Amino acid sequence: MNYEVKFGTADWNLWPISNDYEQVFPRVKKLGISYVEIGIYTPSKELSPSRISEIVNQQKKHGIEISAALFSLTPDVWPKGALSNLESEFLSEFGVFLKALEELGIKHANIWTGADGVHANLDSVNSSLKQMNELAKKFDGVVSIEYKADTVFPDGMSLLKQLEKYEHLKVLLDTGHAFALEEDVLALLKVLQESNKLGAMHLGDALTGDSDADLPCGRVHDFEAIFKKMQEIQFNGPANFDLYGAAIDVNGPGPIPILQESQDHVIESLRRLNP
């Protein structure tokens, strides 16, 4: 492949099989994937010194590079909100998250704010964003926030607008979420890059209105034009498969086949772009 972007997978795509790095990393490697994004719910527990040591040992053992980590703010862990709840421990955990990533040499810190819904207190959210921006300023890497329908950051352009005054916070573009919203992914890539706000990507497919489908790449949309645009704008951040919805679908083929389907589509699309 001539295009040097870090195409990889999120580890949570394999969680229906196991969330043990000893089980996940070799399966990923067997698929010909070398880059992994790890999912974290509570950094102070999941990125303790002993866990950091385990992660380092496992990635070395299996020849894996961790290209990003996602701090996933789920409603069950943060029932009263995270960014919107100034009494929560979110900012403390966010600081732990960034410190641990620096110890691990991980340059991309991603955040998903599912705990903060469309009716979240925006003053509180902006207060948290301001403090996150200060923490991100000291981080030797890139901090990106993922948007999704029915959250406080419901679409790409509104998140971009909210982050305009925060120099050190960027946007994570999930293609599946964008397709579900009927966003123009090519135009969005262009405007995010021109605004210097494109921090990271998740790759997945979706039908209109189904942000949780997380279908394999190429199932509905051809990604060749997206990869061409990524080349044109020289995006060199992580682009990881996020296929969790399809991975846990009891009527689907399971995690390994959907990852293989996505990987095959990436390889074929890049082959056509770079014959």
Mean pLDDT, 10 residues at a time, over the chain (275 residues)? 76 97 97 97 97 97 97 97 98 98 98 97 98 98 98 98 97 98 98 98 98 96 96 95 97 96 95 90
Judge whether 1 lies within some domain. Answer: no
Residue 4 resides in a domain: no
| 159 assigned to some structural domain | yes
CATH of the domain at 186: 3.20.20.150
**Residue 156 belongs to domain spanning:** 9-273
The answer to whether residue 95 is domain-embedded is: yes
DSSP-assigned states of every residue in 150-218: TSSS-SHHHHHHHHTT-TTEEEEEEHHHHHHTT--HHHHHHHHHHTT-EEEEEE-B--TT-TT--BPTT
Give one word for 209, left, alpha or beta, with left for phi > 0 and alpha for psi -120 to 50.
Answer: left
Amino acid at 268: E
Residue 249 lies in a domain: yes
Rounded Cα distance, 265 and 244, in Å: 18
pLDDT of 2:
46
Give the strand pairing for 169-174 and 108-112.
unpaired
Residue 39 in any domain: the answer is yes
Q: Which residues contact 98 (CB under 8 A, 6 or more apart)?
A: 109, 135, 136, 138, 139, 143
Separation CA 226–CA 36 (nearest Å): 21
pTM comes to 0.96
Interval 174-231: pLDDT, tens: 999 999 999 999 999 999 999 999 999 999 999 999 999 999 999 999 999 999 999 9
Rounding to the nearest 10 degrees, give the CA dihedral for residues 137, 119, 172, 40.
80
CA angle 195, 240, 168 (to 5 degrees): 35
2 lies in a domain? no
Average of per-residue pLDDT values in the chain: 96
How many distinct structural domains can be found in the chain?
A: 1
Is residue 3 included in any domain, yes or no? no
Closest among 214, 113, 226, 212 to 172, alpha carbons compared: 113
Closest residue by Cα to residue 128 from 104, 101, 163: 163
**How many whole angstroms separate alpha carbon 194 and alpha carbon 200?**
14
Question: Residue 63 — left, alpha, or beta (φ > 0 → left; ψ -120 to 50 → alpha)?
Answer: left
Q: What residues contact 211, with CB distance under 8 A and at least 6 apart?
A: 148, 149, 150, 176, 177, 180, 181
69: left (phi over 0), alpha (psi -120 to 50) or beta: beta
